[in-house]
Amino acid sequence: MIVVAASACVARAESPGCAGLKGIVLPASLIGLPTTGAAVSSARERHEGGVAYCRVMGKIYPVDPQADDIHFELNLPEVWNGKALQYGGGTFDGYIGKSDGLGRTAVGLKKEATPLMRGYATLGSDGGHHRSYFPLPDAINALNATFARNAEMQRNFAGEAVKKLHDVAVVLMKARYGAAPRRMYFIGGSTGGREALWMVQRYPADYDGVMAAYAAWDQAELDLQFVRTAQALYAPGGFLGYSKTRMIAHKVEERCDAKDGLRDGIISDPAGCDVPAESLRCADGKPHHGCLSDAQLHTLETFATEERTAVPLSNGVDSVPGYNVLAGASLTPSVGLLHFPLKNPVVVLNSFGYVIGDDVTRNFLMGGQNFNSRTLDINSDGPWHDELVKAAVEIDSTSVALEPFVAHGGKLILVHGTSDVVIPTNSTVDYYERVEARMGIEETKNFARLYLVPGMGHGDGRFDGGFDTVGTLDAWVDGGVAPVNLVVTDNNNGRTRPLCEWPAWPKYDGVGNVKSAASFTCVTVLRGRREALRGGAENNIQTAKK
């Protein structure tokens, strides 16, 4: 067993080989948050994709003996570029999975070399819990947030596991390479996007560049939106089955698809799509084929409109925008198959939002009590208000006080698909606007970018967008080259589009290959930003090419 002392500085010539990392024990004093230390369980030489690397597996031990260890993976390439990339988690975490650092990043390219192949040390963890995970795909796995009944495990999921792994990984990189990484990056989507912003806001000096994709930054408020939509969906007569969700999507496409110059099933400018929900109502308000009853219309309007709480939960945030379900986002994959919720939520059978919202309210707020989330009054300052505020303060990434991150020289990229029906697209727009309001538009542009990808859902979709994520961050941070003229590739079929900086969107020029980004121009429609992106304010519209 090798114990790394708090003052240890291992020179490159003295660095252990891969096998020599096995058994290394790190004292708690080397980790910036409370633990009882960490240890390397295994270290093996591996070869994948023409790259030789050391795959290090380990555990970070909790203070509470009832809490789970944090399981982590650290991949150390033999030929190191001096930089590291930490991967974020997803949903409730609970296993290393896609956070292992071996694959593409969120919104990355499927057919390009992975960050590890390009010389980055990569790392990720299970978020600090694993008892609740069953090795089945999320689509059929009963998602389980029972870990949140343990305070330390809940804090680890909130973001502390990310910080603890960061500190452990830096020590191990010093042991292997004789130096800490010269640049440290973080990329995550969904829960991983929230983790990215959580670290930027709380530990601004730990990362030089961060990309947060379709981030659940307002997690507590988002969970209330999940509960709210589920309440409408499972109200008498409110369920929207496959035929209804496809009908809604077809009507929207029929009216708005060609507005971007190309009829291809992708609505590039959701703000310019003006399909009134009322236009889909059955004349007598009763259920018929090809239209919506009053109860179904209420469900659609609930998904399309914002959720607002009686009082702000954290940093002044008191609402979550609606989904783009009247502007190109299809409800089909999110409403489930059953007209009623099962007692133990199962994705596909139940609404995805209900599965998450119900699990969160029972385990994060009510400590596992037998609670029916469909009775929760999310708009009042009710009996669970204190628990909700506490959870929001702990888990949310709502702060826009990013001055320390800017002073560190940090760069931030935000990405979201316009067809996301898990986390509303305009939620990310809201966060960016909040940053602009505090920092100023020009100052924000100096360190942050926001990109919306038309047709992309929650990391997939009709247009499964991908681009060189870590390369773009690295060029900006290490090379001083700000993102410009970026191109996003559809991982489904290889077609490309411009990755337009918000609020611009790609418009087909009317000539040229429809599968090539060269045939599109980023167009900016000048509206009142927030109102327009929520479907309002059509006045004072001008068009300018970038």
* Residues labelled catalytic: 190, 420, 458
Contact of 471 with 479, CB cutoff 8 Å: no
Compute the distance between CA of residue 25 and CA of residue 389 in angstroms, rounded to an integer: 38
Angle at 389 between CA 383 and CA 395, to 5 degrees: 135
Q: How far apart are CA 19 and CA 175, in angstroms?
A: 12
Q: Which amino acid is at 61?
A: Y
User: Which helix (DSSP H) or strand (DSSP E) does residue 185 occupy?
Assistant: strand 183-189
Dist CA 484 CA 534 (whole Å): 27
In a 13 Å sphere around the CA of 343, the CA atoms on its Cβ side amount to: 1
Quick one: CA torsion of 80, 45, 43, 123, rounded to 10 degrees? 40
Residue 53 to residue 80: CA distance in whole angstroms: 9
Cα of 84 vs its chain's centroid, Å: 20
Residue 476 corresponds to which amino acid?
W
- Give, for 497, the enclosing helix (H) or strand (E): strand 496-498
- Regarding beta strands 24-26 and 307-308, do their DSSP bridges make them parallel or antiparallel, or are they unpaired? unpaired
CA distance 420 to 424: 6
Q: What are phi and psi of 319, to 5 degrees?
A: -160, 160
Q: Is the separation of the CB atoms in 361 and 383 below 8 Å?
A: no
DSSP string, 360-404: HIIIIISTT----GGG--TTS--TTHHHHHHHHHHH-------HH
